[in-house]
Amino acid sequence: MELRKVELIEVWVKLKSPFETSFGRTEERPAILVRVEEKGGEVGWGEVVADSGPWYSYETNETAWHVIRDFILPQLKGDITPGNFTALVSRIRGHNMAKAGVEMALWDLAAKLEGLPLWRYIGGVRDKIVSGVSVGIQPSLQELVKVVDGYLQQGYARIKIKIKPGYDVAPVKKLRETFGANLPLQVDANASFSLSDVEVFRKLDEYNLLMIEQPLGWRDLVDHAELARRIRTPICLDESITDLDDARKAYQLGSAMIINVKPARVGGLGETLRIHDFWYRQLGRPIWIGGMLETGVGRGHLVAAATLEGVKYPNDISASSRYYENDIVEPPWELNRDGTISAPTRSGIGVEVLEDQVRRTAKRLYQASF
């Protein structure tokens, strides 16, 4: 594909309700939309999910803007495909979210040029994906019950709650008492504990959780392997897996039975496919797709990734209405009654960006022509 124009459009989107984790509280977040246009006029969209502060990862919307504008866009000359993009930017160490925003726009564009839905283009095998919901830390356990009850009534198939030291066993106990032993439930600590907290995890072992996500350090693999030997509940890694090589090391060390793959965290859909093929096809272990509170643009890429064969746990991919009053795409992503989201039939990510609105409300814009 030959590109003629790439635009960065930064918008800020306000969440319906604040989202609190062990690393902070989000009420509004930046989304850098990447719009790529090839010489025939076809367009692809991607989203950079880096937050305004370096809390989940070291990247921010500022670092991503800088890295894309000054180091990634100058590489996009000549024949560009999702496949050769990775090699073109391999000199840039890290900055996976910046890379992923551009890479995913190229995937959307490539699928559209083939006239195929993105999920089919990347080899997905199912036309609906299982939707879970990630519930932030709540001000009280009563509030937690109320919020979870609301999501269950909407049909979400699995609940994940955020935990942190001091807000760990009690919320899990409360949910088990209220909703019973069969509620599919898991927790996400976002790297807020250390190995000396093993007693907390031994207590959590009593509650039949599907998994414990990223209990220890955000770059750690070794302590997670030690913790995995000491508890029964499977460990799922999020932050610690930034590429295929991390996944291989996690396997070799025994750091996790499960990994959640976030296309944004690993540099895009190409690396998502490689991790999927290693973890699922080679090792026989299922994965699931995690989210970063994406707008409808990033959500389209998540839905496509979740149609891959090895995705067998419910995903952190909820409907547009779980996050935003008004999403920036048409139609918004909707939850079916059975707790699934349908993979689109239209080409690419399958939804239209509300481009006028996005341009009108943009905080900043950058355009590169080739």
9-13 LR contacts (CB < 8 Å, sep 24+): 9/33, 9/35, 9/358, 9/359, 9/362, 9/365, 10/61, 10/65, 10/362, 10/363, 10/364, 10/365, 11/295, 11/328, 11/358, 11/361, 11/362, 11/363, 12/363, 13/295, 13/323, 13/324, 13/328
Residue closest to Mg ion (Cβ): 238
DSSP secondary-structure letter at 160? E
**Of ligand OSB, Mg ion, none, which one sits near residue 175, judging by CB under 5 to 8 A according to partner kind?**
none
Which residue matches tokens 């060390």? 253
Position 238 contacts Mg ion (CB under 5 A): yes
Position 292 contacts ligand OSB (CB under 6 A): yes
Q: Alpha-carbon distance 345 to 119, whole Å?
A: 9
Position 37 contacts Mg ion (CB under 5 A): no
120 or 322: CB nearest ligand OSB:
322
Amino acid at position 228, single letter: A
Among 22, 96, 131, 134, binds ligand OSB (CB under 6 A): 134
Q: Where are the alpha helices (DSSP H) in 185-287?
A: 198-204, 222-230, 244-253, 269-276
Letters for 191-220 (x = contact with Mg ion by CB under 5 A, - = none) are ----------------------x-------
Position 188 contacts Mg ion (CB under 5 A): yes
Q: Alpha-carbon distance 300 to 34, whole Å?
A: 14
Strands 287-289 and 258-261: parallel
Of 5, 262, 312, 363, the active-site residue reads: 262
Position 56 contacts ligand OSB (CB under 6 A): yes
Q: Is 33 helix (H, G, I), strand (E, B) or coil?
A: strand
For residue 56, the minimal CB distance to ligand OSB (Å) is 5
- Mark the segment that binds ligand OSB (CB under 6 A) among 4-12, 30-38, 287-295, 348-356: 287-295
Q: Alpha-carbon distance 54 to 36, whole Å?
A: 27
**Of ligand OSB, Mg ion, none, which one sits near residue 101, judging by CB under 5 to 8 A according to partner kind?**
none
Total length of the chain: 370
Run of H or E residues at 104: helix 96-114
103 or 188: CB nearest Mg ion:
188
Among 47, 103, 168, 238, binds ligand OSB (CB under 6 A): 238
CA 81 to chain centre: 22
Residue closest to ligand OSB (Cβ): 291
6 or 250: CB nearest Mg ion:
250
Catalytic residue check, 262: yes
Position 333 contacts ligand OSB (CB under 6 A): no
Among 186, 190, 240, 272, binds ligand OSB (CB under 6 A): 190
- The set of catalytic residues is 162, 262
Q: Could you list the residues that contact ligand OSB (CB under 6 A)?
A: 56, 134, 188, 190, 238, 290-293, 316, 318
